[in-house]
Structure 1
Amino acid sequence: MIIVYTGNGKGKTSASVGQAIRALGNGIPLCFVQFMKSDVQAGEQIFLQQLLQDNLYIGGKGFFRKEEERPKHREAVLACLKWIETKKETVSMLVCDEILYAYHAKLISKEEIENLISFCRANKKHLVLSGRYAPDWLMEQADIVSEIQEIKHACSKGVPAQKGIEF
């Protein structure tokens, strides 16, 4: 299955973590990679590290805001893809958190994502892709697409990110 969690609402990473927990609970081995988040010890990172150990890779460099930062972000994406290469044969599910944000920022190519999809389809492996801005071509290829829409968020009223809620 190719599963996509997208949209502008909060909860795409949470959905990906939930999918990983469901799979693990059913004995499905997986690896989880965060393409954009840095190792800031967010709640899900702490939990996943305990649960997955060396099957978790937090490869991001944080938010991509300045064009001069493109090389370091592209390098981080390439490191994530290289890490996946070392894991993909031994697991039944690949979870690629925030890969779609990386795609939207042109840090990963359509071809690189399609290579992951092709590998997973050919080898009967599940692939979870999350992030804002899922392109139409991906939503067409996916087996499951969930769009998470923001209705209301406290940050729009100036409330800072809350530990255990946003991180």
Structure 2
Amino acid sequence: MEHKDNQQASEEPNAVQEREITPSTPEEFGLVQAWWGDGKGKTTAALGMGFRAAGQGYRVHLLQFMKGGADSVEDVRGEYNAIAAMPAISYENAGHYGWHGRLDNSSDEDHESEATAGLKRATELLDAASESDLKSSFPLDSDPEDGVHMLILDEILYAANRGLVDPEDVLGLIERKPANLELVLTGSHDSPEFLYDHADLVTEVGKEKHPIGQGQPARKGTEF
């Protein structure tokens, strides 16, 4: 197939026109979303939405719970490199090494301590957003403590499901959320019933078939 350069492609009918990412303000942000289930793709879906928002020039921040590296997963995940290369989106990790409940020599107390620290950090970020003007734009490389339009709390529902944080504290985060902040929560194989009266969108990601059942470990580029 003959390759067409960008100029040729742009002359084609209905060609997609890329544009520079510049600071912008969302018109309809402010919902609470939850992604849970035993299928692969909860974090992937949240990150995809985060990149989509960042591509519109909205300020996005990802705070990860329970992803602190393990023998089968590298500390530097693919999403971290992608985030570093992408304007308007940033991340931080509040996870302890290993995975809670697994025989990997990690301490339950350490997992709980890190999750508690993550909860405190989420509170700080929400309070900072409350003190910011979310109806305005932010510099693409601004500090998340200056305010963000979308905050993704990845795996926080796992932390609640496993008793590392209290579900009531998760509801407390929702109550602290300013009106124009889009708050995204992911994690948990069990239905987060405590959330249903407080979230605007709840999506179950269901597993029909997964290679982990045949012993396939996490793969670089798909799981991390």
Per the normalisation by structure 1, the TM-score is: 0.88
* Corresponding position: 1:65 with 2:101: yes
My pick for the range that moved more, 155-164 or 10-19, is 155-164
Spell out the pairing of 1:17-96 with structure 2 (5 A cutoff): 17-39=47-69, 40-51=75-86, 55-61=90-96, 62-65=98-101, 69-88=107-126, 89=129, 90-96=147-153
**Would the aligned equivalents of 1:31 and 1:87 in 2 still touch at CA under 8 Å?**
no
In the TM superposition, residue 44 of structure 1 has moved relative to its aligned partner by 1.5
Superposition deviation, residue 66 in structure 1: 5.9
State which drifts further: 34-43 or 48-57: 48-57
Counterpart CA distance in 2 for 1:160 and 1:146 is: 25
Q: 4+ runs of 1 displaced by more than 4 Å?
A: none
Counting helix residues as a fraction of each chain, which structure ranks higher? 1
Cα distance in structure 2, aligned partners of 1:14 and 1:114: 23
Deviation at 1:48, TM superposition (A): 2.2
Partner of residue 145, structure 1? 202
Query: What letter is aligned with 1:63?
Result: W
CA–CA distance in structure 1, aligned partners of residues 34 and 180 of structure 2:
17
Contact 2:54 2:87 in 1 (8 A): no
CA RMSD of aligned residues (A): 2.2
Aligned twin of 2:168: 111
C-alpha distance in structure 1 between counterparts of 2:32 and 2:56, whole Å: 18
Q: Distance in 1 between matches of 2:89 and 2:113?
A: 20
Structure 2 gaps, min length 5: 1-30, 70-74, 130-146
Separation of aligned partners in 2, 1:19 and 1:74 = 28
Superposed displacement of residue 70, structure 1: 2.4
1:32 and 1:94 in contact (8 A); partners too: yes
Between the aligned residues of both structures, percent identity stands at 34
1:69 Cα deviation after fit: 2.1
Cα deviation, residue 43, structure 1: 1.2
Residue 83 of structure 2 contacts residue 89 of structure 2 at CA under 8 Å; is this kept in 1? no
Encode CA deviations 1:2-29: one digit per residue, 9 max, x unaligned: 0011100000110110111121122221
Distance in structure 1 (CA, Å) of the matches to 2:89 and 2:50 = 15
Aligned-partner Cα distance in 1 for 2:180–2:35: 20
> Which SS does the other structure have where 1:55 is aligned?
strand
Aligned pair count? 166
Tell me the distance in 2 between the aligned counterparts of 1:41 and 1:7. 25
Q: Which amino acid aligns with 2:125?
A: K
Which protein shows a greater Rg?
Answer: 2
